[in-house]
């Protein structure tokens, strides 16, 4: 890797002050796993990195507030999400997704904040966070603001975060008793490859009927997105798997998959169809 | 830009040490160049194969994707820190007795990962072993023998 400067502030405020809104070669670094991949490949050449590793407090915490909302600090490693009993209880689909996200060593180092802020469409958690109605708290020189997960991913490796903002936490709202969620992925090159298609579904159902569903797809598309037509197709339908076909069909129509080494556009479209169906089955039977 | 060296101190295999590192150095580079420890070696360089496994504060990391500067104040263990003098640790013993390697390039990473697995799960099933070790690759494909070695080491450790 080529040389760069490294700063290690001790507080969130200090870290924000060190960010530069005008210079894309200055970036925060958390676990460093995603950045180091890019730096080693020569895709990113920083002049200065601001390490978040000395920051303490809520940024490293997992907790449930008085409303039952689950707060996940941006510096929480993915291995902690995988193993936390609080996450297992309040967002079991998140724990399950983390179990097959990359490998143990990456999960030990990679943080939730880096995972989300990277804006890489191949990450596993973003579509699930969208389906779960999660919100992100961003902190910058002008104070803090909340961004819905569905509005956070604005393009290929692009998020709604400003260059001088840091992600502080992700909050997953308390699930209603009639809701459940699931994430399924398709890995094309090997069992534990990055996903070629990832689909998350959150459904609310009563007496065998889907009241509503949020569906999101990632990896196949340039950014994680909601599948509005598929959501409309499943609303009010029965939870018998026959009615999932229509939603799967709608999803396959509305996505615009990007072709890459993991599959052509047509192939990924087909995989979206299959996995929307699987995600709906899994969510409505869990 | 000339790399600005920084002075870091940490514990390495039980000893307090110091090093001069540049921000862009990786943990593997530092261990090899400054401490002549070659157990952790870079192969894929992308976090996929586990040849560069190092234990930092009790957790496994890929040394190829870990900044050396982040070792400051940490407790670092490499494969060289497992044996007590001439006496191999139970996982190392098991890899020898089960022939859990051929060329040996991947072995130090596997041995550290297996130590981590057995700390968390004293009696893993074959599925659990395969899942835990899915981020470690062996080009010689000695996987069946590696799995035997994990079972053997688990048996020894449960007796201790
Ligand atoms: C071998 C390998 C395999 C992988 N496989 C998968 C996979 O199958 N599925 C999957 O989902 N992911 C996979 N990943 C990606 C992994 O999830 C990410 O690399 C990781 O989550 C990034 O977290 P980090 O803390 O290391 O981020 P960093 O590399 O530190 O940062 C990533 C980005 O986020 C920014 N950033 C970091 N923290 C913040 C913050 N708090 N606020 C604002 N910006 C911030 C950085 O500036 C940078 O742009 C894989 C990674 C590796 C190395
Ligand atoms: S060399 Fe680090 S994981 Fe392969
Ligand atoms: S023994 Fe040769 S790579 Fe594993």
**pLDDT tens profile A181-209:** 999 999 999 888 999 999 999 999 999 99
b/e per residue B113-152 (b: at least 16 CB within 10 A): bbbbbbeeeeebeeeebebbbbbbbbeeebbebbbbbbbb
- Given A108, A140, A172, the domain boundary residue is A172
- Split into its structural domains, chain B has a count of 2
Whether B76 and B124 map to the same domain: the answer is: no
> Tokens representing A53?
């590793």
Same domain membership, residue B48 and residue B30: yes
CATH of the domain at B118: 1.10.150.120
Q: Are A157 and A67 contained in the same domain?
A: yes
User: Helices marked H in A91-227 — which ranges?
Assistant: 92-99, 104-109, 112-117, 125-131, 149-152
| Boundary residue ending a domain (B81, B112, B139) | B81
Tell whether B23 and B74 lie within a shared domain. Answer: yes
Report the residue of chain B nearest A110, measured CA to CA.
B61
Give the residue among B144, B51, B36 at the shortest CA–CA distance from B105. B51
DSSP H or E segment with residue A276: helix A265-284
Asked whether the beta carbons of residue B3 and residue A106 sit closer than 8 angstroms, the reply is: no
Low-confidence ranges of chain A (pLDDT < 70): 241
With an 8 Å Cβ cutoff, is B44 touching chain A?
no
ipTM: 0.96
Ligand 3 site, residue B105, Cβ cutoff 6 A? yes
- Residue A133 is predicted with a pLDDT of 98
Domain containing B125: what range? 90-159
B133 in the same domain as B103: yes
Q: B127 and B73: one domain?
A: no
- Are residues A147 and A124 located together in one domain of the fold? yes
Q: Are residues A66 and A148 in the same domain?
A: yes
State pLDDT tens for residues B22-75.
999 999 999 999 999 999 999 999 999 999 999 999 999 999 999 999 999 999
Section B129-145 average pLDDT? 97
| Closest approach atom of ligand 2 to CA B65 | 2
**CA–CA distance from A157 to each of A123, A132, A259, B98 (Å)?**
11, 21, 16, 46
Domain range enclosing A22 = 5-51
Q: Which of A107, A114, A136 is nearest to A55 (CA)?
A: A114
Residues A95 and A113 in one domain: yes
**Is the domain of A147 the same as that of A249?**
no
Closest CA to A121 of A174, A173, A159, A82: A159
Specify the pLDDT at position B2: 54
Same domain, yes or no: B69 and B118: no
Same domain for A44 and A75, yes or no, is no
- What pLDDT does residue A194 have? 94
Pairs of CB atoms within 8 A across A/B: 82
Domain boundary among A172, A194, A217: A172
Structural domains in chain A (count): 3
Tell whether B97 and B128 lie within a shared domain: yes
Within 47-106 of B, beta carbons closer than 8 Å to A belong to 47-48, 50, 53, 59-62, 64-67, 69-70
Residue B3 banded pLDDT, cuts 50, 70, 90: low
Identify the domain boundary among B81, B110, B144: B81
Among A44, A103, A192, pick the best mutation site for testing chain B contact (most B Cβ within 10 A). A103
pLDDT of residue A78: 98
Domain C-terminal end among A155, A172, A189: A172
**Do B75 and B98 belong together in one domain?**
no
The residue in chain B having the minimum alpha-carbon distance to the alpha carbon of residue A99 is: B131
Residue B143 beta carbon below 6 angstroms from any ligand 3 atom: no
pLDDT at B91: 98
Q: What was the pLDDT predicted at A97?
A: 98
Q: How far apart are CA A275 and CA B104, in angstroms?
A: 40
Same domain, A17 and A122: no
- Based on the fold, state whether residues A154 and A90 are members of the same structural domain: yes
**B102 Cβ inside 6 Å of ligand 3:** yes
Buried b / exposed e over A263-272, threshold 16 CB at 10 Å, is beeebbbebb
Q: What are phi and psi of A232, to 5 degrees?
A: -65, -35
Percent of chain B whose pLDDT exceeds 90:
96
Q: Is residue B33 part of a domain?
A: yes
Q: Is the residue at B1 inside a domain?
A: no
The ligand 3 atom at the shortest distance from the C-alpha of residue B139 is 3
């Amino acid at each position: 890797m080529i040389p760069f400067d490294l700063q290690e502030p001790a507080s969130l405020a200090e870290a924000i002050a060190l960010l530069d809104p005008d210079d894309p070669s200055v970036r925060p670094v958390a676990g460093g796993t995603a950045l180091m991949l890019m730096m080693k490949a020569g895709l990113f050449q920083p002049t200065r990195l601001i390490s978040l590793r000395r920051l303490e407090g809520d940024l490293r915490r997992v907790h449930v507030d008085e409303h039952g909302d689950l707060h996940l600090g941006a510096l929480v490693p993915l291995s902690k999400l995988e193993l936390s009993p609080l996450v297992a209880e309040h967002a079991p689909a998140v724990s399950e997704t983390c179990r097959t996200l990359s490998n143990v060593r990456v999960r030990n180092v990679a943080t939730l904040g880096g995972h989300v802020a990277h804006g890489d469409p191949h990450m596993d958690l973003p579509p699930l966070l969208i389906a779960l109605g999660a919100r992100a708290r961003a902190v910058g020189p002008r104070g803090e603001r909340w961004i819905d997960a569905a509005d956070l991913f604005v393009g290929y490796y692009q998020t709604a975060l400003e260059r001088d903002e840091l992600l502080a936490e992700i909050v997953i709202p308390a699930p209603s008793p009639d809701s459940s969620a699931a994430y399924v992925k398709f890995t094309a090159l090997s069992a534990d490859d990055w996903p070629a298609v990832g689909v998350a579904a959150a459904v609310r159902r009563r007496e065998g009927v889907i009241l509503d569903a949020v569906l999101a797809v990632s990896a196949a598309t340039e950014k994680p997105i909601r599948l509005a037509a598929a959501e409309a197709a499943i609303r009010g339908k029965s939870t018998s798997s026959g009615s999932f076909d229509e939603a799967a069909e709608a999803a396959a129509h509305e996505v615009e998959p990007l072709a890459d080494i993991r599959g052509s556009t047509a192939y990924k479209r087909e995989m979206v169809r299959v996995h929307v169906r699987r995600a709906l089955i899994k969510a409505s039977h869990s | 830009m000339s790399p600005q060296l920084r002075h870091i101190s940490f514990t390495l295999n039980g000893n307090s040490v110091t090093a001069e590192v540049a921000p862009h150095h990786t943990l593997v580079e530092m261990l090899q160049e400054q401490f002549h420890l070659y157990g952790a070696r870079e192969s894929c360089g992308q976090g996929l194969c586990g040849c560069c496994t190092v234990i930092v504060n009790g957790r496994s990391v890929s040394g190829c994707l870990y900044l050396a500067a982040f070792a400051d104040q940490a407790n670092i263990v490499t494969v060289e820190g497992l044996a007590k003098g001439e006496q191999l640790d139970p996982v190392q013993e098991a890899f020898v007795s089960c022939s859990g390697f051929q060329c040996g390039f991947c072995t130090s990473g596997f041995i550290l990962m297996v130590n981590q697995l057995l700390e968390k799960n004293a009696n893993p099933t074959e599925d659990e072993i395969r899942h835990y070790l899915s981020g470690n690759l062996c080009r010689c494909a000695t996987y069946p023998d590696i799995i035997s070695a994990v079972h053997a080491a688990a048996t020894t450790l449960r007796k201790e």
